[in-house]
């Protein structure tokens, strides 16, 4: 599943200004609502419920918060580059500055896992994440995330 299937241009936030994990999740939930038409509160509550099971901070300054929603019609994602890293209770203790949020229908099953795996593979590449961190231009970020080179990572 290529990242271009998950992200729209409107779902890329190049310089999100937040002061905490909760604020970051709230801002991303609000943008997810604007992109999808789903209720922001339901997105936020579902993401928080998932975070209570364990942090989705995967290490190296990256978090992949995700949730399933009954009202979601398709899998979609958002990407945010944070202006300042925030504590995300990540596995390695490092603060997070790159976030991929993934929302899937409750019936998504294996497709949800494939999408999570796709994102995880892309962010494992230190050169790719360095380029994401160095870029503030929304168009350039979107192209980086959706071009075939990112999809092959």
CA within 13 Å, CB half, 94: 11
66 is catalytic: yes
pLDDT tens-place string over residues 49-80? 999 999 999 999 999 999 999 999 999 999 99
Q: What's the pLDDT at 4?
A: 87
Report H helices in the chain. Answer: 21-36, 40-53, 110-123, 126-134, 138-146, 148-152
Q: What's the pLDDT at 91?
A: 87
| Entry pTM | 0.92
pLDDT tens-place string over residues 42-51? 999 999 999 9
Phi and psi of 13, rounded to 5°? -110, 110
pLDDT tens-place string over residues 2-40? 788 899 999 999 999 999 999 999 999 999 999 999 999
Instruction: Fill in the DSSP letter of residue 8.
Output: -
8 A C-beta contact, residue 97 and residue 82: yes
Environment class of 153 (CB within 10 Å of its CB; exposed 0-12, middle 13-18, buried 19+): middle
Residue 115 has pLDDT above 60, yes or no: yes
Q: What's the pLDDT at 153?
A: 44
Residue 151 has pLDDT above 50, yes or no: no
Question: CB 69: neighbour CB atoms within 10 A?
Answer: 20
| Rounded Cα gap, residues 124 and 2, in angstroms | 15
69 CA to centre of own chain: 16
Catalytic residue among 21, 31, 66, 112: 66
Residue 90 has pLDDT above 60, yes or no: yes
Q: What's the pLDDT at 89?
A: 93
CA within 13 Å, CB half, 75: 22
| Rounded Cα gap, residues 26 and 82, in angstroms | 13
For the chain, the residue count is 153
Domains of the chain, earliest start first? 3-148 (3.40.930.10)
């Amino acid at each position: 599943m290529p990242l271009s299937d998950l992200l729209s241009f409107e779902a890329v936030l190049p310089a999100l200004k937040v002061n905490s994990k909760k604020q970051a999740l709230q801002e991303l939930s609000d943008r997810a609502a604007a992109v999808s038409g789903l209720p922001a509160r339901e997105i936020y509550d579902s993401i928080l419920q998932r975070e209570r099971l364990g942090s989705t901070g995967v290490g190296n300054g990256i978090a992949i918060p995700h949730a399933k929603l009954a009202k979601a019609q398709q899998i979609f994602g958002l990407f945010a580059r944070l202006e300042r890293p925030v504590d995300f209770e990540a596995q390695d203790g490092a603060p997070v500055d790159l976030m991929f949020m993934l929302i899937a229908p409750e019936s998504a099953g294996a497709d949800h896992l494939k999408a999570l795996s796709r994102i995880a593979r892309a962010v494992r590449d230190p050169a790719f994440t360095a380029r994401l961190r160095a870029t503030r231009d929304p168009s350039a970020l979107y192209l980086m995330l959706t071009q075939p080179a990112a999809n092959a990572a």
